[in-house]
Amino acid sequence: MITLYGIKACDTMKKARTWLDEHGVDYQFHDYKKEGISADKLNAWCSEHGWEKVLNRQGTTFRKLEDSDKKDIDTGKAIALMQANPSMIKRPVLDTGSQRLVGFKPDEYAAAFD
């Protein structure tokens, strides 16, 4: 089963959901702000893509952190931050079963379902 992870009220999420719907892709939506996300799942995503890609450092939630929380980030610290603040997880994360796509790029989605 294909799973789209993210937050419902995010503009990028809306674009991804629209793309999937328009291309007839069946998927399950997991709102990690409401349902949470396991450390194991975040660790797997960070192992596959690197915490630098999975942790959204451009968003308001990250920018509002204390400077000490923004320093010396490693995988463990990034996972703890994302679990405590799911808004810091880059969105969407699309799990096709064989791969995870982080962020929304129509050409990457097209390649994944070609």
Residue 54 in contact with residue 20, Cβ under 8 Å?
Answer: no
As annotated, the active-site residues are 10
Could you report how far apart the first and last alpha carbons of the chain are, in Å?
Answer: 17
| Cβ neighbour number for residue 61 with a 10 Å cutoff | 16
- Tokens 């980030």: give the residue: 73
